[in-house]
Structure 1
């Protein structure tokens, strides 16, 4: 734990913990984290954003690190329902059907949170695991279902590298947001599908 984390640590108070505002506080944590990054974030900032007293936060979380871990973990609540994935009959159709405005907004938010915790991921195995579970794995799981359907239909070869195919789209989106500072929109995502993902799966390059 860094000196910053130690500075943020307070003894737990004796009053009974009130969990009724947890969701609002965790959401405020994610907002501040995306704006300032982990190193720039303070408990004071989160308390002000959530309109809560610092004592409320410290009764629930003993340190900034603990608060951020819980906030990132709660992002799993927005993961994709694998039983309700689109099934259009083609790989391209399924991938494009996954591109919806709420999905794009959710992905953009997750990428900004990921940018905010990069420094912490490098020094905390717990944060790295939480980030993978909440920010990477949900979409990868959905992609696995879609690509395996394509294999079952005989649309793509059974020996294609599904794991690699699953990560192409998320990796390109992350690079665009984190490195280029540009938004991920529908046009960009469809361009990736037609120009990169389908050819990587052994299908002809599509014209979007």
Structure 2
């Protein structure tokens, strides 16, 4: 009898939450964010497009800001694989080798996401830090490697401001997409390299 009573009062374990769909839901959240902006976005929109229950999203993310913060942080992806970067032997060659259709589309998407969270960045330091790490730093890190390689080869001066130079390309792309509302294509990126970045380090395009 005592054993039966003990079994009756034994606490039941709750069902474990299933996080296998989290990456898919976060991708949908980024798409909605890029289309509507933070202020126009709702968790209901994300749930509908992801074909997930609204209650499921609220159990995982207690607020819209939590969902957006997680989604933006996930854009950073894997750590930079230096060995996978092009190494053509010249600064221009390395920069041009990074101009590929997938990377162009990815950059445009990131900029649209950034435009969507501008209002949140202004009032949320945590979001500002996440946006920098996910949207700005990955490409800046690639450019940083290319400029330092060029310095080590003796191709450009050792006293150039690498940190400033590695932001020129991303800044020009951001201005074109966010303010001018124009697409980014290969011709535009090549002109940035040949007419802005190379002259800034004292090189001429071949």
Q: TM-score, normalised by structure 2?
A: 0.90
Q: Cα deviation per residue 1:47-105 (whole Å; 9 max; x = unaligned)?
A: 01101110110110000000000000000116653221101011000000011111111
- Residue equivalent to 1:89: 89
Structure-1 separation of matches of 2:27 and 2:56: 15
Contact 1:15 1:59 in 2 (8 A): no
Size of the aligned set, in residue pairs, is 193
1:181 Cα deviation from its structure 2 partner? 0.6
- Give 1:1-208 correspondences, 5 Å limit: 16-77=16-77, 80-204=80-204, 206=205
Q: Structure 2: which 5+ residue stretches go unaligned?
A: 1-13
Structure-1 separation of matches of 2:137 and 2:201: 20
Structure with greater Cα Rg: 2
- Residue equivalent to 2:10: none
What is the aligned-residue RMSD (CA, Å)?
A: 1.3
Kindly tell me: are residues 132 and 125 of structure 1, through their superposed partners in 2, closer, same or farther at Cα, counting changes over 3 Å? same
Q: Cα deviation per residue 1:164-196 (whole Å; 9 max; x = unaligned)?
A: 110000000000000011111111101100000
Q: Cα deviation per residue 1:17-55 (whole Å; 9 max; x = unaligned)?
A: 220110110000000000000000001110011011101
After the TM superposition, which parts of structure 1 deviate over 3 Å for at least 4 consecutive aligned residues?
Answer: none
Q: Structure 1: which 5+ residue stretches go unaligned?
A: 1-13
- SS of 1:141 mapped into structure 2: helix
